[in-house]
Amino acid sequence: MARRQASTVRVLFSYAFDYVVLVTLIAIWGYISTLPPNFSRFSLTDITLQYPIATPETISYPLACILSIVLPAGIVALWSIFIDLFRYRSSFRTRLWELNCGILGLALSITLTLVITTSLKGIVGRPRPDVIDRCQPAVDSTDAKPYGLSTVDICTQPNRSVLEEGWRSWPSGHSSTAFAGLFYMSLYFAGKLSLYDNKGEVWKTVIVMFPTLGAAAIAASRVLDHRHHGTDVFSGSLIGAATAWLAYRLYFPSLHDTAREGRAWSIRSWGERNVSATETNGHDGVDAVSLSREDEVRVDVEIGEFRRRPTSSSPYEPPSYRGLPAAGGGGGYSSEDGTKVPPSSSTNGSSRMRLDDNSKGSGSENPFRSSIE
């Protein structure tokens, strides 16, 4: 029977496409960032738009990138290369596999968030709370009549970049990026620490929530600096958390699947090829095993090969007994033909069990099938 064998080259090629997609998303984000936003109308008398430009910011954009992207990437690398070595004594190739999936998930979360957030900023063009200070309208400027709204035409700001940033309020980029990176880190910790293992260990919860708390602090700083409205921050946080969950589940199992201890999914089908039994001399070696999707929770993965854990994928079949307790009691058992068997027929008052002959030597039969003498 043909089996499926993982090829190292095909595995690397299949995941190289993921990196190509990520680079493409970064290029799209870079292009969108150069486009001017939609300059929505605003009112000069709106007090929510009259805040001064905060200089310097509480958390600058470079610092936010370090905290939301560089720091999580470093933790993923540290955990995959060193901590997994002491926890599982896994090979270096296996740890590289975990690193690959962890970095891919984080990168996908960040790039998706950047593209979505930047696109929405330009399409909506909501004014920031400091838009009037950025606009620098003339002293005698007033809102247009009869609707009472002004346009960007009244602005005298010579710096075009500063002016355009005034109309990129919704959603918050700091908030979405922070949650895309740090909430992903919380999910990563929750999986690795088996948070939902029904043990209720508080220290795990503290570790898991710490990155999310950091993301919330970054998001809150945008309101304190009057760079965003509260709804901007809330919406950006939701976008970042949603993309983080999506990216994490693409490469890692559910947090409730504590048996896997947060280890990445096995290699995808692109890295497999069909091989016949003659290529493996009829043996089920570690390089050629037939796996179903249900077997995902019972395998450890190394690049280019599957390794089966010592568990069976055969469905459980309860033991079948030749004799059943007699209805109405009486201290004995009824055989299959209805004959009453007294308790004295068993040694020391207990029933002795004998394995059926047809249960021996066959992996498809239940080895626990027995009969009562």
Distances (CA, A) of 268 to 155, 303, 357: 55, 11, 41
242 & 332 share domain? no
246 & 331 share domain? no
Tokens of 6: 């993982």
pLDDT, averaged per 10 consecutive residues of the chain (373 residues), comes to 53 81 96 96 94 93 96 96 89 88 96 97 97 93 85 94 96 97 98 93 95 97 97 98 97 92 77 46 38 40 38 47 49 50 47 43 43 39
List the catalytic residue out of 174, 229, 256, 283: 174
Q: How far apart are CA 192 and CA 36, in angstroms?
A: 43
Instruction: Provide the domain count of the chain.
Output: 2
Asked, for residue 281, whether it belongs to a domain, the answer is no
Helix (H) or strand (E) holding 33: helix 8-34
Asked, for residue 192, whether it belongs to a domain, the answer is yes
Asked, for residue 290, whether it belongs to a domain, the answer is no
Asked, for residue 286, whether it belongs to a domain, the answer is no
**Contact present, 126 and 170 (Cβ < 8 Å):** yes
Q: What is the pLDDT of residue 15?
A: 79
List the catalytic residue out of 226, 228, 229, 283: 228
70 & 179 share domain? yes
Asked, for residue 193, whether it belongs to a domain, the answer is yes
Asked, for residue 311, whether it belongs to a domain, the answer is no
Tokens of 206: 């503290």
Among the three residues 260, 276, 304, which one is the final residue of a domain in this structure?
260
343 & 256 share domain? no
Q: What is the pLDDT of residue 268?
A: 66
pTM for this predicted structure: 0.72
Asked, for residue 297, whether it belongs to a domain, the answer is no
Grouping H, G, I as helix, E, B as strand and the rest as coil, residue 143 is coil
Tokens of 125: 């063009």
- In the residue annotation, 229 being an active-site residue is answered as no
254 & 331 share domain? no
Among the three residues 210, 242, 260, which one is the final residue of a domain in this structure?
260
Q: Which domain holds residue 123?
A: 3-260
Q: What is the dihedral of CA 143, 148, 152, 157, to 10 degrees?
A: 30
